[in-house]
Amino acid sequence: MKRSGSMIKLGAAGILLLLLIIIYLLNPAFFNELWKVCLSGDMNLVAEYINSFGPWAMVFSFLLVLCVNAIGFPPAIIFSSANALIFGIVPGIALAWIAETVGVTISFLLLRFFFRDAAEEIISQNSYLKKIDDVSGKEGFKVMLIARLVPYLPSGLLNAVGALSQMSLRDYVLAALIGKLPSTAIEAMIGHDAVTASENPYRLVFNILLAVVVIGAFFIYEKRNKDKTKSKENN
């Protein structure tokens, strides 16, 4: 059984590798160009690059945001902000929100497929990890929802935590779909307004304050949750 599972995983990895090779053969400069643009951190440059695909710009942007969230690098805010600059705030946020949700779902599926078995073996040997794993199955939706609501939390980390836990796919997708809308909107608007600050400086200040409040509320919630857990363990 383990051998057949390993063969399936090798086959899946081979398919992913083949897809990358096909893209490279179609356009050898693509990965190098994309890498430079992604690492630049320049929203205007990213927007210009996406626009260079003409009528396919929205499709390319969707796939780009999807891949960035599936990999967890670089920060998605660059691309969600670029979408708001190119397509307008509402359409840009909608596109980024859906693409990010699909991306983190693909990441969840791949990480769980390749690494959950190994994680289960490690967890089974540690009572503390097993307790955390059991809680993730019962409280996973609430925890993931709250985490996804917070702007700027590393997407790759949340993808891994969800995939290696007992959380169901349904709970994970719902938490991502609901939680990512406000966090994506805040990130996109802050990025958009940072570039166009002269047009509406007050909205930029409001969005930054809103992000600070949400992040602060998350850490307060986490602290209280830990205190409650410790209290129950002591009793």
pLDDT at 9: 59
Task: Give the C-alpha distances (Å, rounded to integers) separating 164 from 132, 134, 224.
Answer: 11, 12, 25
Token output for 44: 């205007």
> How many helices (H) and strands (E) are present in the chain, helices listed first?
10, 0
Give me the pLDDT at residue 167, please: 83
pLDDT at 84: 87
CB contact at 8 A, 192 and 85: yes
Per-10-residue mean pLDDT, the chain, length 235 = 56 68 73 74 81 88 85 78 87 91 88 71 57 63 82 80 82 89 84 69 67 71 64 58
Q: Please give the Cα distance from 88 to 60 (Å, whole number).
A: 16
